[in-house]
Amino acid sequence: MGRCPACGEWNTMVEEPKAPKEASSATALSRSRAIISAQDALPQMLDDIDFSAESRFSIGIAELDRVLGGGMVEGSMILIGGEPGIGKSTLSLQIPLCCKNLRTLYVSGEESPKQIKLRSERLGGNGDNCMVLSETLLENIVGQAKKTAPQLLIVDSIQTIYSEALDSSAGSVSQVRECASALLRFAKESNTPVILIGHITKDGTIAGPKILEHIVDVVLQFEGDTKGSYRILRSIKNRFGSTDELAVFEMTGIGLREVSNPSEILIPMHQDDLSGIAIGAMIDGTRPFLIEIQALVSTAAYGTPQRSATGFDSRRLNMLLAVLEKRAGFKLASKDVFLNIAGGLKVSDPACDLAIVASVLSSNFDLYISPKVCFAAEVGLSGEIRPVSQIERRIAEAEKLGFEQIFISSFNKESSFARRKDSRIKVTAVSDIAALCRVLFQ
């Protein structure tokens, strides 16, 4: 059915697999019970539960181990999502090549064994313990996995495999869900960790990773510009560790290279002495990240000054410029102002205000801001610098990425200064734009 008669929406109907005959009343609930424990479960005292059972092992890629929370947990299911071409297949093939004691079954629904061999030649490493299977039928994959009993199963990608039990085509919501639950059952029953690869489009709407997030134990997302060489692997969900972790990789001619000191990415992007550039610490959805904001202020050639903003609301830019004019005495009315958010991103987080103001001022004075400095605060109409939410996470992200100083609102001071003492980043609280100028461009 194309249109749902209940809500009137198009293409929202999803095919559900029929429940097994012996348990015709079986619901999703009883099915998920079968996943977690095969026998009838009895309540246990929390204190009596032996948690040493959660054993971890290292997979030989230090950054990946760290994002996973200190290695891979046996019997866990990990989803690696990302846009096509970002390097998911490369990373997952590098795991068995780096960790030679790990018997791995690498299932590919996209590439032939020859192609995989070719890629592994390029990546180098040791393929002694890596079995390869080109297959898209779920039942065969699970059968082979049970037969070969690998220590790690990698399935690339969940959208290409299908189950005979359903009529719908591979990649549809019901197939993806059915295949993932079958693989989850395999993972829990055999205590084998399973890595699923999932494609995701820019807006994350395509059937796939999004609907799997609640099934799997760990969700890692690969981000970055496929044309650039840097990739960020971020933990979005982790039942065995923190979700604040991120790892940075560089795509090279011989595969992904770990970047253990991520600040090396941001620094060589421009020379120290370029004016008009400021870094803002913003939060998009639930994830913090740092973006570069570029401004160009020049003398207006014609009567009416030009204002242009790419990736940012131009009305808000006009407001910020008006604030600068009124409260800080800058004669911007006779200047053209161009604003650009680097990397083609769009920002709407008010925490970018301070970085925008700083980049405009920097271009106006032609004084550069150190690339190791970033900003996170909102600017109010009277020129006051206002607090923003989740300031600790912004500071932590900036610290992780190697920044040395962050400017925040003095109203955020309390929460941010309560942080641990050994932090490597200097937090500077400012109360208004004049104070910011004094500290930045003195």
Residues in contact with ligand TYD by CB under 6 A are 82, 84-90, 119, 122-123, 251, 253-255
Nearest residue (CB) to ligand TYD, 249 versus 403 = 249
CB of 85 to ligand TYD, least distance (A): 5
Residue 352 has phi, psi (to 5 degrees) of: -80, -10
Taking each continuous run of H as one helix and of E as one strand, the counts in the chain are 13, 20
CB of 143 to ligand TYD, least distance (A): 25
CB of 103 to Mg ion, least distance (A): 22
Asked if 281 contacts 401 with a C-beta cutoff of 8 angstroms, the reply is no
Question: Which of ligand TYD, Mg ion, none lies near 426, with the C-beta cut-off 5 to 8 A by kind?
Answer: none
Asked if 383 contacts 327 with a C-beta cutoff of 8 angstroms, the reply is yes
CB of 120 to ligand TYD, least distance (A): 9
Beta strand extents in 218-334 (DSSP E only): 218-223, 230-238, 246-252, 255-259, 277-284, 287-299, 307-310
Q: Output the residue with the shortest Cβ distance to ligand TYD.
A: 89
Site for Mg ion in 64-103 (CB under 5 A): 89
Question: Which of ligand TYD, Mg ion, none lies near 295, with the C-beta cut-off 5 to 8 A by kind?
Answer: none
**Segment holding 194, helix H or strand E:** strand 194-199
Mention every residue, 6+ apart, whose C-beta is less than 8 A from residue 95. Answer: 59, 60, 61, 64, 102, 104, 152, 154, 195
Please state, in angstroms and as integers, the Cα–Cα distance from residue 267 to each residue in 262, 274, 366, following that order. Answer: 9, 12, 19
Query: Could you write out the DSSP letters of every residue in 47-58?
Result: GG--GGGS-EE-
CB of 138 to ligand TYD, least distance (A): 20
Question: Which of Mg ion, ligand TYD, none lies near 204, with the C-beta cut-off 5 to 8 A by kind?
Answer: none
Question: Which of ligand TYD, Mg ion, none lies near 255, with the C-beta cut-off 5 to 8 A by kind?
Answer: ligand TYD
Nearest residue (CB) to ligand TYD, 167 versus 225 = 225
Nearest residue (CB) to ligand TYD, 127 versus 280 = 127
CB of 214 to Mg ion, least distance (A): 24
Nearest residue (CB) to ligand TYD, 225 versus 414 = 225
Question: Which of Mg ion, ligand TYD, none lies near 87, with the C-beta cut-off 5 to 8 A by kind?
Answer: ligand TYD
Nearest one of 296, 289, 286, 344 to 317, comparing CA atoms? 296
* Three-state secondary structure call for residue 60: coil
Nearest residue (CB) to Mg ion, 160 versus 235 = 160
Nearest residue (CB) to ligand TYD, 201 versus 370 = 201
CB of 441 to Mg ion, least distance (A): 48
Question: Which of Mg ion, ligand TYD, none lies near 254, with the C-beta cut-off 5 to 8 A by kind?
Answer: ligand TYD
Residue 289 has phi, psi (to 5 degrees) of: -155, 165
Sign of the dihedral defined by the CA atoms of residues 168, 174, 176, 181, in that order? negative
Nearest residue (CB) to ligand TYD, 89 versus 163 = 89
Which residues in this chain contact Mg ion in the complex, by CB under 5 A? 89
